[in-house]
Amino acid sequence: GWRISGGGLFKPLKSVGSDIKIRASIWQTGLEEGVGMHDYLAGYNWAAVSAVLDGDYVPGVQPRGLPVRNLSWVKNTNYNMGVDATLLNNKLTLTADIFKIIRTGYPGKRYDVLLPAEIGYDLPNENLGKNGYYGAEGISTYTDKVGELNYVVSGNMTFSRYRDLETYKPRFSNSWNEYRNSIEDRWGGVWWGYQVVGRFQSEEEIRNHPINNDGQNNRTQLPGDLIYKDVNGDGVINDMDQRPIGYPTGWAPMMSFGGRIGLDWKGINLNIDLAGGAVQSWFQDYELRNAFHGGGNSPAYLLEDRWHRKDPYDPNSEWIPGRYPAIRNGNSGPNSRNSDFWLTNVRYLRVRNLEVGYNLPKAWIQKIKAEKIRFYINASNLISFDNVKDYQIDPEIEARAAVVYPQQRVFMVGFNMTF
């Protein structure tokens, strides 16, 4: 590290900040993922298999597999550069970092050495892969007072993305297979699917549509169904028209951020903690995409706001537009494909915690010889500002069918006494 505000050429910076430091670091740690405690020993696993012989249950043994003596822990090499600064007469503090974590020797198995099935085990793991995380993070805090009001405002942000760097002898049958399925030197957590470019407005439009949208010359299409983009221009919608459309799903968001607001005035104090995320996708699936999935029910919005006949008993009545395609019993027909219609790139900011408190004046509590008495009202998960409210789900949910118990909203009233 180098404290550049100390003097010399950077002495003029003293008027800007009392403390400015730049730093860099590199270090290495180990990760035991994929490494068993006794992988280097040959032997047998007792009672791993069993059989019935002459009416008796007989436990058996199974070979543990080939011993491996060239497998070690994954080596995590961490690279970091950052800056720390204290500015504006110590009112503002800043910390910012960029980082890279390279994981060398990630465990994997060779596929080009074949073992007979009669052997009963696979090849052991070896240190074959390499991947990494790249990102940046920062936090800033401003503290000041106006009259008798003391306040602090703080914000933080982290962005991190995973990338596969090396895999063991990647093989592909053709250029499309390589483009679609290779992870070599690519960012991870990319969702593939179809791009929706419109909706069929009438049966006549379906009959005249030049693209085979459903793989069956559009004979299963109905007004309101999704029209997919024919990316390669061959006149047929198939796997070759899929493209990256979303970010990781079910993971922590690639970007997370938060903040804090603190106020104190004549014994009354307010603290607000915020947390948010972005660059993360969520797919509507199962019950949320296919009406009556598995013989079950569907959310009200999928049934009420859909394309449907004005008279359900008259197949010649006019079509009434809706947000969602017309439903089919048991499936959504050609609309059930993974597409950006069913995908939402989630963004949210949640009031994680809010607390209002009051410290009784010391003149009031001296009579009972107390040092401090504080009353407070606290609320957790009070409100969320997000773009998934229409689906009636929690923005931090991971399940694609949303069948997960949501986070609870908790209210508390209490007091603290110090003697």
Q: In terms of pTM, does the model score above 0.75? A: yes
Q: How many CA atoms within 13 Å lie on the side-chain side of 52?
A: 1
- Whose tokens are 């859909």? That residue is 306
Mean pLDDT of 250-274: 93
**Helix, coil or strand: residue 337:** coil
| C-beta atoms surrounding 174 within 10 Å | 8
Query: pLDDT confidence of 265, banded at 50, 70, 90?
Result: very high
> Which of these, 348, 326, 346, lies nearest to 335 by C-alpha position?
326
* Residue 108, CA atoms < 13 Å, CB-side half-sphere: 15
Q: How far apart are CA 389 and CA 392, in angstroms?
A: 5
* 3-state SS, residue 338: coil
Tell me the C-alpha distance between 192 and 243, whole Å.
5
Q: Is the pLDDT of residue 13 over 80?
A: no
Query: Does residue 8 have a pLDDT over 70?
Result: no
Instruction: Give the CA angle between residues 208, 313, 328 to the nearest 5°.
Output: 60
- Condensed to tens digits (0 to 9), the pLDDT of residues 324-366 reads 999 886 566 899 899 999 999 999 999 999 999 998 888 877 7
What pLDDT digit, counting tens, does each position of 87-120 carry? Answer: 988 899 999 999 999 999 999 888 888 888 888 7
Binning pLDDT at 50, 70 and 90, where does residue 419 land?
A: confident
Query: Nearest to residue 195, comparing CAs of 337, 298, 90?
Result: 337
In this structure, the strands spanning 308-309 and 319-320 are antiparallel
> Two tokens at 249?
């799903």
pLDDT of 248 reads: 85
Q: How high is the pLDDT of residue 324?
A: 93
Say if CB 102 and CB 123 are below 8 A apart: no
Sign of CA pseudo-dihedral 240, 241, 244, 249: negative
> How far from 414 is each of 10, 260, 267, 287, CA to CA, in Å?
52, 22, 16, 42
Q: Please state, in angstroms and rounded to a whole number, the distance separating the CA atoms of residues 333 and 127.
A: 45
Strand ranges (E), 325-404: 343-359, 372-380, 384-386
Residue 392, pLDDT above cutoff 90: no
What residues have CB less than 8 Å from 339, skipping those under 6 apart?
Answer: 193, 194, 195, 196, 226, 228, 245
Q: Which two tokens mark 405? A: 């118990």
* pLDDT level of residue 212 (50, 70, 90 thresholds): very high
> Of 81, 82, 80, nearest to 101 (Cα)?
80
Average pLDDT of the chain, as a whole number: 90
What does the block give as tokens for 280?
């993360």
Within 8 A by CB and 6+ apart from 252, the residues are: 277, 280
In whole angstroms, give the CA distance from residue 191 to residue 244. 6
- Residue 86 and residue 90: Cα distance in Å, rounded? 6
Residues with Cβ within 8 Å of 338's Cβ and at least 6 positions away in sequence, in order, are 191, 192, 193, 194, 242, 245, 283
Cβ 225 vs Cβ 324: under 8 Å: no
